[in-house]
């Protein structure tokens, strides 16, 4: 498929996503960059629904990096354990909070380079924070978006990095921040990984894929 026809397909997919999900809320509950970055760290291999049940318990004890480092890693672990990967996540939360206090005066930095240098923060997490906390154009690609991009024929990327590059080349930069959320919500409702029926998915049905 030529890049021109690929872009036409992408534009049609964007139109469908806008039709079905004109308004999208950030699925992880937070109220500032710090609470967002903690929620995103906890969301690795964990549902947003579960994270949103755990973060109020954690933030009741510590909602700033200064408060977080007053807790021990074990105290953090006791709260976040239900999110899975508890030992690694609790160490990352303590470690990144300590760096934010010591290096950034308690604030979350607003560059990819600085974010990705924090414990437990990879490119996808940094992309979520840059887009949702700071409004910087980014296209966070998780395993769900990676799967849908392949299913819809938007990318043949073997990894999320390649899929991200492909999607960025197909969609206008100004749409990225909203679009990645639209894809997530659309996938959950109409295009799931298991039990998928292409005949009832508006995108798969439109393009004869799935």
Residue ranges covered by each domain of the chain? 3-24+139-207, 33-132
Token pair recorded at residue 78: 């006791």
Residue 3: band (very low, low, confident or very high) from pLDDT cuts 50, 70, 90 = confident
Q: What is the mean pLDDT of residues 163-176?
A: 98
CATH of domain 3-24+139-207: 1.10.1670.10
Please list the alpha-helical segments (H only) found in 48-199. Answer: 48-61, 65-68, 73-80, 86-104, 112-116, 123-132, 143-151, 160-170, 176-190
CATH architecture of 33-132: Orthogonal Bundle (1.10)
State the pLDDT at residue 210.
Answer: 87
Provide the whole-model pTM: 0.94
Res. 106: pLDDT tops 80: yes
Res. 196: pLDDT tops 90: yes
User: What count of Cα atoms within 13 Å lies in the side-chain half-sphere of residue 24?
Assistant: 22
Give residue-wise pLDDT tens across range 8-33: 999 999 999 999 999 999 999 999 99
CA distance 33 to 47: 20
Long-range contacts of 11-19 (CB under 8 A, 24+ apart): 12/206, 13/152, 13/154, 13/203, 14/171, 14/175, 14/179, 16/202, 16/203, 16/206, 17/179, 17/182, 17/183, 17/186, 17/203, 18/182
Res. 83: pLDDT tops 80: yes
Res. 1: pLDDT tops 80: no
Residue 43: band (very low, low, confident or very high) from pLDDT cuts 50, 70, 90 = very high
Query: Among residues 87, 66, 85, which one has the least CA distance to residue 77?
Result: 87
Strand, helix or coil at 150? Answer: helix
Write down the catalytic residue from 142, 158, 168, 197: 142
Residue 142 bears catalytic tag: yes
- Rg of the chain over Cα atoms, rounded to whole angstroms, equals 18
Report the percent of the chain where pLDDT is more than 90: 97
8 Å CB contact between 24 and 178: yes
Res. 88: pLDDT tops 90: yes
Q: What is the mean pLDDT of residues 51-79?
A: 98
Res. 4: pLDDT tops 90: no
State the pLDDT at residue 115.
Answer: 98
- Share the mean pLDDT of the chain: 96
State the pLDDT at residue 2.
Answer: 79
Whether 33-132 and 3-24+139-207 are alike in CATH topology: the answer is: no
Query: Among residues 189, 59, 42, 193, which one has the least CA distance to residue 201?
Result: 189
Write down the catalytic residue from 124, 158, 189, 205: 124
Contacts of 197 (CB under 8 A, 6+ apart): none
């Amino acid at each position: 498929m030529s890049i021109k026809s690929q872009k036409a397909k992408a534009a049609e997919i964007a139109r469908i996503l806008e039709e079905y999900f004109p308004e999208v809320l950030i699925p992880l509950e937070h109220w500032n960059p710090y609470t967002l970055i903690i929620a995103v760290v906890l969301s690795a291999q964990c549902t947003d629904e579960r994270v949103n049940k755990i973060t109020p318990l954690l933030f009741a004890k510590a909602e700033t990096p200064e408060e977080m480092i007053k807790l021990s890693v074990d105290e953090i672990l006791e709260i976040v354990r239900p999110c899975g990967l508890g030992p690694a996540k609790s160490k990352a939360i303590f470690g990144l909070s300590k760096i934010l206090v010591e290096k950034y005066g308690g604030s979350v930095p607003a560059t990819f380079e600085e974010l990705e240098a924090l414990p437990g923060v990879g490119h996808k997490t940094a992309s979520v924070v840059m887009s949702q906390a700071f409004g910087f154009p980014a296209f966070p690609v998780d395993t769900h978006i990676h799967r849908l991009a392949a299913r819809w024929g938007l990318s043949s990327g073997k990894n999320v990095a390649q899929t991200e590059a492909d999607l960025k080349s197909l969609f206008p930069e100004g749409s990225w921040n909203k679009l990645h959320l639209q894809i997530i919500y659309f996938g959950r409702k109409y295009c799931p990984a298991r039990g998928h029926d292409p005949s009832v998915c508006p995108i798969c049905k439109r393009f004869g894929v799935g």
